[in-house]
Amino acid sequence: MSDLESGSWVPLVDFSVKKGISLSTLRRYIKANKVLWKLVEGRNLVLDDGSISAPRGHAEKDLVEKIDQQDLLIKLQMMEEELRSAHEEIAELQTLVAFYEEKWSKESNSFSNSPSSPSPSLSPFPEQD
C-alpha cells in the first residue's frame, strides 16, 4: 500500500493543531524520522496516517471547548431574545410618545385659536380637582 492510500498529506500547522503538538515538536519528529514528510511547491507536508496520536488531555480540552461553545450559544440566544423584547418595548414607547405629541399638538392648537382661554396644561394627564 502506498503512502497516499494509508493517509493524507497535510501542512505542518494543520497537523500540529489536529494532534495537539507544537510546531517545534513536530519539526523534531521530522528530524528524527518519526513522521514522513515531503516538500511540495515550497510547503512542508507531513503524512497523517494515524501513527502519531494526540497527547493525553487533548481530547478533554476539545470536550471543554465544545461545552464552552454550547454555553456561549445558549447565552447568545438568550441575549438575542432580550434584544427582541427591548426592540418591541421601544416600538411601543415610540407609539405612545407619538400619540401624546399629536394629542398635545391638537390641544395647543385649539387653545391658541381662542384668545380668551387660559394656556393649556403641558401634562398629558388630566388635572384632578
Per residue in 20-59, pLDDT tens? 888 998 899 889 988 889 999 999 999 988 777 766 665 5
Q: Is residue 129 part of a domain?
A: no
Q: What is the reported pTM?
A: 0.40
Q: Is residue 61 part of a domain?
A: yes
Query: Among residues 28, 48, 68, which one ends one of the domains?
Result: 48
Q: Is residue 65 part of a domain?
A: yes
pLDDT confidence tier of residue 3, bands split at 50, 70 and 90: very low
Both 39 and 63 in a single domain? no
Our count of domains for the chain comes to 2
Q: How many CA atoms lie within 13 A of 77 on its CB side?
A: 6
Both 40 and 62 in a single domain? no
Distance CA 84, CA 89 (A): 9
- For residue range 83-120, list pLDDT tens digits in order: 999 999 999 999 999 999 999 988 888 776 665 555 55
Q: Is residue 72 part of a domain?
A: yes
- Cross-sheet strand order for the sheet of 43-48: 8-11, 43-48, 37-40
Both 8 and 25 in a single domain? yes
Both 62 and 37 in a single domain? no
Q: What is the three-class DSSP state of 126?
A: coil
Both 64 and 100 in a single domain? yes
Both 60 and 103 in a single domain? yes
Domain of residue 88, residue span: 56-109
Both 65 and 44 in a single domain? no
Both 38 and 75 in a single domain? no
